[in-house]
Structure 1
Amino acid sequence: MGRIRIGIGGWNFPEWRKGVFYPADLPQKRELEYASRALTSIEINATYYGSQKPESFQKWHDETPDDFSFAVKASRFATSRRKLAEGAESIDRFLNSGITRLGTKLGPINWQFAETKQFDAEDFAAFLALLPEEQDGLPLRHAIEARHDSFCAPEAADLCRARNIALVRAMDSKFPDIDVQTADFAYARLMGTQDVDNGYDAAGLDKWAAEARRMADGRELYLYVIAGTKSRNPACATALIHRLS
């Protein structure tokens, strides 16, 4: 079984304070330090909405353990467009925003498409060709989060497989759960937590832990508990880590 990294999306949420996840007396400036020691990865979401300073990436690198890993959501300006192939300038701007300051802690980049974006083989292939294999001498891994059923087409998987690009699984959600292996790593988002202590009951946690083991057969897995009942997501991620440890 490959390494399984489990975490949450972001770390600065009021729902997680006052003892829900963060200790009541924990200063907000130390939340990443705390979260990165309770979990094994975090998906940075703020990068989807706007550029972050290079100094911020450096700070996040310095505050986390040596074996920690971040996934980074790519800029929406690169993916929320009619023609994906026309996003070269936005892709380049995002890749040069300072993400490589994360160094070896940089995990996959999640290129999330709009729910309305349908699969067009020519346009999709042209977009994938814009994603470089390295930046500033650092190897890059890319994942595509397609949210339209048309991306279930085998041709979409074939195009990703040719470039070692993962298709993100949207598990327990309204989005298509595209369960195909297209890269030497896997990327999943668990999106259906409920308002119970650990986000799921014991049977649910066992189910998703078993699924994580299956996905990590021979490859590294990045799994993020996100959406659903947000206040329960850190507890769910922690419970899955315990089941898999």
Structure 2
Amino acid sequence: MTIRIVLADDQAMIRSGLALVLRSEPDLEIVEECADGHALLRAVTLAAPDLVLTDIRMPGIDGIEATRRIRAQAGGPPVLALTTFDDDDVLWPTLDAGAAGFVLKDSAAEALVDAVRVVADGGTWIDPRVLPRVVARAVAQPQVSADAARALASLTAREREVLDLVCDGAGNAEIAAVLDTGERTVKSHVSAILAKLGARDRAGAIVMAHRAGWRRS
């Protein structure tokens, strides 16, 4: 299966380098390259990609606002955010906007390709250098409400297994392999989990699970 990607970065040299890395993989296809957020939003509408890979710092509409608008659309593709910065002023707004992944530009090419595949498969990718801060922030936030706790308790045994793997960042294919089931079944489980938890996406479910101190026994 080919993963169709819209790539956005305002620096032409960096954009070309990213495109070169991604096009070297037989299962990755760049359907559009954009230099700003306005062009990115148009490309998403016209090309209907499987994934958006976007820089954060761009003129006009930046990557954070573009992510927010893309994720607000029904059926909007997952977004993998790419930046040279790992400070909190970039990290938290990016994740809060609905990005399913966050990778630094100085990551190895292999890490970027892995991140693209995981996020396109429905998983979550947080650069290992910032993951401890994400977990610490989730744990430090106020505990989930009684309603949220009841929602977590209402998950079936299989849904709990799926959520545990989602918390580990696994994509649909990996979850299906671990649980010896089909990807379509995994997608149904994930949809049921998000509906029960009232979470917008996998990242929201992960935050809720960490805040509740929930993990598989």
What TM-score, normalized to structure 1? 0.32
What TM-score, normalized to structure 2? 0.34
> Comparing both structures, which one devotes a greater share of its residues to helix?
2
> Comparing both structures, which one devotes a greater share of its residues to strand?
1
